[in-house]
């Protein structure tokens, strides 16, 4: 039996009842000893054989969002999980609710050979690191602005390895999010795994598979920087499609502006600029339609070019030029942006026809803010679907759900403001009551007003610190 086979997590329930598993393990030990005698066996085989008993047990240090989310998933996959916490008493109700045991860090570390470091990276040094020697230590941490600037070009996983040279550090699971883990909706998402210890890397790949993820062997720990960059990547794959779509839209918009508004003024100068009232209803709507059609063509064109190239080369086994490869890969994004433009066009048209767009700027602003709010709400809804969320990085997901979410609220509120402009700010209490619009405005405006102070840098940085583990309560401070 090879060391690789010995790692297969096949610890059966009721091991020892029929003597089978012990016999199997004895045979492995004998073989290991024989190989030792022959001078060919490595010590790691012994570690693997012994670790075989432990393979279903994992120690998770830290009972935060991610630690407990991963714990829940491990328990579902029949792992025994011991959570190491600074304050077991306080953590116990939450951890035992999902089927895990809680202990102090030192005690927890005695329970297993595979350790997940689920504490913010800035606090790692406060853990009993000497106990990690010889253990597989899974670094799940992601970079924050603070750690990025202090580490420079070194990844956090390499930094951890330097802190504990005797540990078998593996970078993994950082691309998952606590939210999606608890909701169990990540499908078979790819989990990049890298480590300088090959056996440890394989073990963590096994764990990832047990959790129904698809491990991606990224090789040595020096690749951890690349792995740590994944959750922070920001629509990198969308850039080409987005800028193409924007450029096409701007082109059509300017063309329409010239043809429909500016040209007539150049020919017959006058002071009547009322045609500008149709900018959104006509120009934007038509520019969206033009863009959608162009993007649709751009989705199909690279396939045709690739086919000609293959015909010319007479093979499909040679690489396309870089630009064509990139174009082919961006078809998914171009297609979705095409959909977005079509949607905008249809909605603007539908909204425009009964509403006499030629009215005034306020009427235009009313419909425009409503339409864009509706589209953004659609994006929010789409990205909350498991299949879409599972394919987004953490930064992309939080940008859409947070930044775009707030923007949607602002637009929807403006929509309301423009709709009842005359009524909203006039205390015209018909029947001694505020109007319907005034009622509806209260909650969104209150919410936006409460959000504004949180955007102040000093308040925001305090909030970020707390979210990264800073704890002011006396019990935690004493334990630190
Ligand atoms: P968190 O909610 O802030 O929890 C971290 C936990 O670490 C705390 O609950 C605490 O557990 C422990 N801790 C906090 N300060 C500590 C200190 N000074 N010394 C020792 N332990 C301390 O953080 P998290 O979101 O779970 O993230 C944990 C790690 O996972 C981070 O490195 C993060 O980058 C990574 N990660 C998180 C996510 C995510 O979606 N949240 C996704 C991928 C990776 P006790 O009170 O039990 O000691």
Q: How confident is the model at residue 392 (pLDDT cuts 50, 70, 90)?
A: confident
As a whole number of angstroms, the distance between CA 462 and CA 261 comes to 50
Does the beta carbon of 64 sit less than 6 angstroms from any atom of ligand 1? yes
Distant-in-sequence contacts of 398-404, Cβ < 8 A, 24+ apart: 399/234, 399/235, 404/376, 404/379, 404/380
Name every residue whose Cβ is closer than 8 Å to that of residue 472 and which is 6 or more positions away in sequence.
none
- Ligand 1 centre to CA of 436 (Å) is 46
Please say whether the beta carbons of 228 and 157 come within 8 A. Answer: yes
Mutate to test the pocket of ligand 1, among 105, 191, 469, 473 (most ligand atoms within 8 A of CB): 469
- Nearest CA-CA partner of 117 in 131, 101, 97: 131
- Ligand 1 centre to CA of 159 (Å) is 17
Using alpha carbons only, give the angle 398, 403, 408 rounded to the nearest 5 degrees: 125
- Ligand 1 centre to CA of 139 (Å) is 12
Coil/strand/helix, residue 455: coil
Range name among 63-67, 139-143, 243-247, 376-380 with the lowest pLDDT average: 376-380
For residues 475 and 235, which has the higher predicted lDDT (pLDDT)? 235
- Ligand 1 centre to CA of 146 (Å) is 15
For residues 418 and 16, which has the higher predicted lDDT (pLDDT)? 418
Give percent above pLDDT 90 in the chain: 44
Residues counted in the chain: 480
Digit-coded pLDDT (tens) for 258-301:
888 888 777 777 777 777 777 777 889 889 999 999 999 999 99
- Nearest CA-CA partner of 174 in 191, 154, 162, 187: 191
Does the beta carbon of 62 sit less than 6 angstroms from any atom of ligand 1? yes
Atom 42 of ligand 1, residue of closest alpha carbon: 177
Token pair, residue 214, equals 């698809």
For residues 340 and 153, which has the higher predicted lDDT (pLDDT)? 340
Does the beta carbon of 123 sit less than 6 angstroms from any atom of ligand 1? yes
pLDDT of residue 170: 98
* Region 234-260 average pLDDT: 91
Atom 21 of ligand 1, residue of closest alpha carbon: 119
Please say whether the beta carbons of 194 and 221 come within 8 A. Answer: yes
Does the beta carbon of 126 sit less than 6 angstroms from any atom of ligand 1? yes
- Ligand 1 centre to CA of 91 (Å) is 13
Q: What is the pTM of this model?
A: 0.73
- Ligand 1 centre to CA of 394 (Å) is 16
Mean pLDDT, the chain, rounded, equals: 81
- Ligand 1 centre to CA of 379 (Å) is 30
pLDDT of residue 199: 97
Which numbered atom of ligand 1 lies nearest the CA of 66? 26
Q: In what order do the strands lie in the sheet with 57-61?
A: 101-103, 80-84, 57-61, 114-117, 136-139, 168-171, 190-195, 214-217
The listed range with the strongest mean pLDDT (100-104, 174-178, 462-466) is 100-104
Atom 22 of ligand 1, residue of closest alpha carbon: 119
Radius of gyration, CA atoms only, the chain:
30
Does the beta carbon of 72 sit less than 6 angstroms from any atom of ligand 1? no
As a whole number of angstroms, the distance between CA 194 and CA 418 comes to 54
């Amino acid at each position: 039996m090879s060391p690789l086979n010995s790692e297969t997590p096949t610890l059966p329930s009721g091991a020892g009842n029929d003597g089978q598993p012990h016999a199997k393990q004895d045979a492995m030990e004998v073989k290991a000893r024989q190989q030792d005698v022959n001078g060919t066996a490595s010590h790691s085989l012994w570690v693997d054989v012994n670790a075989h008993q432990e393979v279903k047990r994992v120690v998770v240090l830290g009972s935060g969002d991610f630690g407990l989310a991963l714990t829940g998933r491990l328990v579902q996959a029949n792992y025994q999980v011991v959570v190491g916490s600074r304050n077991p008493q306080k953590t116990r109700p939450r951890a035992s609710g999902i089927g895990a045991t809680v202990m102090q860090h030192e005690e927890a570390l005695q329970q297993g050979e595979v350790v997940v470091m689920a504490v913010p990276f800035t606090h790692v040094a406060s853990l009993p690191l000497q106990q990690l020697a010889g253990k597989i230590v899974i670094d799940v941490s992601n970079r924050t602005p603070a750690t990025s600037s202090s580490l420079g070009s070194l990844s956090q996983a390499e930094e951890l390895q330097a802190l504990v040279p005797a540990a078998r550090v593996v970078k993994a699971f950082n691309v998952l999010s606590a939210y999606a883990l608890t909701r169990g909706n990540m499908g078979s998402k790819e989990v990049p795994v890298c480590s300088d210890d090959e056996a440890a890397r394989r073990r963590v790949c096994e764990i990832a598979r047990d959790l129904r993820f698809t491990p991606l062997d990224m090789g040595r720990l020096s690749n951890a920087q690349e792995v740590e960059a994944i959750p922070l990547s920001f629509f990198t794959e969308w850039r080409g499609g987005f800028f193409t779509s924007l450029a096409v839209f701007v082109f059509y918009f300017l063309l329409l502006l010239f043809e429909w508004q500016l040209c007539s003024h150049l020919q017959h100068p006058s002071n009547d600029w009322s045609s500008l009232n149709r900018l959104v209803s006509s120009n934007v709507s038509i520019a969206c339609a033009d863009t959608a059609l162009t993007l649709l063509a751009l989705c199909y064109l690279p396939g045709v070019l690739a086919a000609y190239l293959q015909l010319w080369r007479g093979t499909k086994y040679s690489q396309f030029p870089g630009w064509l490869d990139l174009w082919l890969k961006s078809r998914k994004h171009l297609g979705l942006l095409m959909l977005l433009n079509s949607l905008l066009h249809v909605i603007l048209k539908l909204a425009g026809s009964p509403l006499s767009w030629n009215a005034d700027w306020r009427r235009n602003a009313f419909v425009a803010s409503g339409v864009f709010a509706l589209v953004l709400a659609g994006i929010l809804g789409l990205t909350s679907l498991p299949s879409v969320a599972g394919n987004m990085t953490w930064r992309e997901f939080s940008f859409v759900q947070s930044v775009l979410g707030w923007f949607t609220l602002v637009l929807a509120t403006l929509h309301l403001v423009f709709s009842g402009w005359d009524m909203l700010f006039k205390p015209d209490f018909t029947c001694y009551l505020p109007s319907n619009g005034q009622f509806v405005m209260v909650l969104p405006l209150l919410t936006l007003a409460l959000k504004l102070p949180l955007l102040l840098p000093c308040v925001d940085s305090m909030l970020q610190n707390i979210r990264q583990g800073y704890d002011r309560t006396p019990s935690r401070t004493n334990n630190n």
